[in-house]
Amino acid sequence: MLEVIIHPKAGQFPSLCKRPEIDHVMLSTGIQTVFNEIKRNGDEALLNYTEKFDGVKLQSSIYDITSKDAASIPISDDLKQSITIAYHNIKKFHLAQKSNSLLVETMPGIVCKQHSLPINKVGIYIPGGSAPLFSTVLMLAIPAKIAGCKEIILCTPPTSSGDIHPAILYTALVCGITEIRLAGGSQAIAAMTFGTNEIPAVDKIFGPGNQYVTAAKQLAQNYGVAIDMPAGPSEVLIFADNTATPAFLAADLLAQAEHGGDSQVILVTESEKIVQDTLAEIEKQLATLPRKTIAKQALGHSKAIVVENTVSAFEFINAYAPEHLIIASDHADKYIPLIRNAGSVFLGNYCPESAGDYASGTNHTLPTNGWARSYSGVNLDAFCKKITFQSITEDGLKGLAKTIITMAEAEELQAHANAVKVRLNQL
């Protein structure tokens, strides 16, 4: 059950912000070994790791999606309809993020422009395992398509029968994905980093995962591949004022706890009674959950923190920088100015975090482990790059020349200054 902390001082915040983690030396060593093997032996190593970690012996990682028809996928009509509704909401929100090209005349004769262009080749990683996250296909494929990425490679672990989970397949078809590879874990990240005969190297890798996948994505950057963000084990922090409902709080905490034993959930409130009532609700609701064993593991390193006042609450919240932040209040909007660090915020007593996980329209691929202090969640811009342009007329150069020459010579870069002077001489 959650550890209860009463009125912590600011000096305790760093230790209270710590997430569950495994030995980093062991982790990095193991991931580097996987990368070395994939780089050296390509598909052979990839398939060996699939057999080792997923218990499935494949002849190839390539999954032929082109022969599949969405109507024939064996999932319920209700689920198909739900995926369709979520698809349209997510697409609508991400379409609204499209930015126009910029054009600014900074001085007479000097025009600066910015164009947004799609990243050419992207890899999207879709976790499988005990909870196949078909919703992540929506979150990553939709903005990639809107951005105009030319090649989208979807990697996901195979099922125990060596197939793809039908909900992942259906969602991929709805999103227009044409390339799927049955590969999971750090070996899939390594394959998209280096490229193999069956899996092309990509320019940027997207997607959540466990600590192994997160470490692999971070290592991929050392080999010239960009990533969306460090997105490891999931987490939620709930701020509850005196208008919060303990049954709702318990449900939201358990929703996040069932993601995995290395997840973390935090309750922050000024009320000890809310904590006690919420703990009682957790006991009641936990008993009914199929994944209660996993949820209990997460609750074992989670906390309920009773703070002295709202100022202290948000000092801790911003220090923790949660992936998901729920403001459980009938007056949630009044707390918005206090929020500085969070991946995605859920406002009000009727806004569960699961709405953002699935269908409200916002993206659920978010920074964890405190990275919300410096990273945004996935959005349309994550699939684009911005290129700037400038054009200068003869009169424009004359007007700016002295400024450039003075600054270049002050930095003792005479060739920079000379690039302007030779043009002035000709003019």
Domains and CATH numbers, the chain: 3-19+233-361 (3.40.50.1980), 24-230 (3.40.50.1980), 394-426 (no CATH)
Could you report the per-residue pLDDT of 143-183, keeping only the tens digit for each?
A: 999 999 999 999 999 999 999 999 999 999 999 999 999 99
State the amino acid at position 421 in one-letter form: K
Could you report the per-residue pLDDT of 14-69, keeping only the tens digit for each?
A: 999 998 877 778 888 999 999 999 999 999 999 999 999 999 999 999 999 999 99
282-286: long-range contacts at Cβ-Cβ below 8 A with a sequence spacing of 24 or more? Answer: 282/1, 282/2, 282/250, 282/253, 282/254, 283/1, 284/250, 285/247, 285/250, 285/251, 285/254, 286/254
Could you report the per-residue pLDDT of 247-257, keeping only the tens digit for each?
A: 999 999 999 99
Asked if 88 is an active-site residue, the reply is: no
Asked if 323 is an active-site residue, the reply is: yes
Residue 403 has pLDDT above 90, yes or no: yes
d(CA 38, CA 313): 46
Number of neighbours of residue 222 by Cβ within 10 angstroms = 10
Q: Indicate if the alpha-carbon torsion angle 373, 146, 74, 179 is positive or negative.
A: negative
d(CA 232, CA 318): 19
Structure tokens, 342: 């969070």
Could you report the per-residue pLDDT of 356-402, keeping only the tens digit for each?
A: 999 999 999 999 999 999 999 999 999 999 999 999 999 999 999 99
- How many Å is the maximal CA-CA distance in the chain? 84
Instruction: Name the active-site residue from 235, 270, 323, 353.
Output: 323
pTM recorded for the entire structure:
0.94
Instruction: Name the active-site residue from 324, 394, 411, 412.
Output: 324
